[in-house]
Amino acid sequence: RTVYLNGDYLPEDQAKVSIFDRGFLMADGVYEVTSVLGGKLIDFDGHAVRLQRSLDALDMTHPSDKDTLLEVHRELVARNGITDGMIYLQITRGAPGDRDFAYPPKDTPPTIVLFTQDKPGMADSPMAKTGMKVISIPDMRWGRRDIKTVQLLYPSMGKMMAKAAGVDDAWMVEEDTVTEGTSNNAYIVKGNTIVTRQRDHDILHGITRAAVLRFAAEAQMKIEERPFTIAEAQEADEAFITSASTFVMPVVEIDGVAVGAGKPGPVAARLREIYLEESRKVAV
Ligand code: PLP
């Protein structure tokens, strides 16, 4: 695999980063994951805008710009022959040469890394047909989940808790309401209404979320952006998640309780179809 590191395209085993990198020592970095379908980038603009927002929130300097990043994404897709898959991008506050809690001087060069992940046929995931099962766990992350940092230990623990419980993912709960999944936004459907948590510091502002809510509104669905409980979700007609890597994925069981008929419902299926169709049309 060819990867990108600080301006160079390199074989993956030759891409090396300092042990003093603040991403490594302090999780002082941000990331984005962009899907590739048919060799084209899905929602690239949204990811580029959110990247800038994350950098601004942490007072980090963008080592590049949107147009250059688009070129790098395209170059990696071409060099690695990716048809369907993902591109991971990470920017850290660089390697100041020692360990210190205080940020290094502004002129410390950031570290930027991109690599591809090949996922042939990812849009035809069998899980879209069967649906996924989730458990609820307490949300123990920090208070700025709207910044997409590489500080992912609690979501990793959540995935392991889900695995140990024999299910696919965990929905995180804070003060009795669902914040989001370990790596996705969470939704329930009641009648013609879609409910999903409002955008604030408690959740990541999903790029797929923005697109799916836009398509749902265009399809005359009602949208309520508010918190919901696990009990309300278990009594809903449908539940689903969204993310750049899963698109729209139905959730059919929460804490051992079947949601609706216990199989993927029509709203999630329709939104998945619309999202895939429309975002392929405008892919770059
Ligand atoms: N919430 C969390 C915690 C995530 O990690 C992610 C994606 O990785 C999402 C939501 C979904 O965001 P997006 O649709 O931009 O992939």
Alpha helices in the chain (DSSP H): 22-26, 44-57, 66-79, 127-130, 153-164, 207-218, 230-234, 266-281
Axis crossing angle, helix 207-218 with helix 44-57, rounded to the nearest 10: 130
What is the spatial distance between Cα 106 and Cα 93, in angstroms, rounded to a whole number?
9
Q: Is the CB of 248 under 6 A from ligand 1?
A: no
Select from 3.30.70.1560, 3.40.50.150, 3.30.300.30, 3.30.470.10 the CATH code of 2-119. 3.30.470.10
ipTM here = 0.99
Q: Are strands 2-5 and 238-243 parallel, antiparallel or unpaired?
A: unpaired
Report which protein residue has its CA nearest ligand 1's atom 1. 184
CA-based radius of gyration for the chain: 19
The answer to whether 2-119 and 127-281 have equal CATH topology is no
CATH code, residues 127-281: 3.20.10.10
Catalytically annotated residue among 16, 66, 119, 148: 148
* pLDDT tens track for 27-78: 999 999 999 999 999 999 999 999 999 999 999 999 999 999 999 999 999 9
Ligand 1 centroid–CA 86 distance in Å is: 13
- Contact present, 182 and 241 (Cβ < 8 Å): no
Q: Is the CB of 180 under 6 A from ligand 1?
A: yes
pTM of the full structure? 0.97
For the chain, which residues make up each domain, given as ranges?
A: 2-119, 127-281
222 is catalytic: no
* pLDDT tens track for 237-250: 999 999 999 999 99
Position in ligand 1 atom list of the atom nearest CA 148: 5
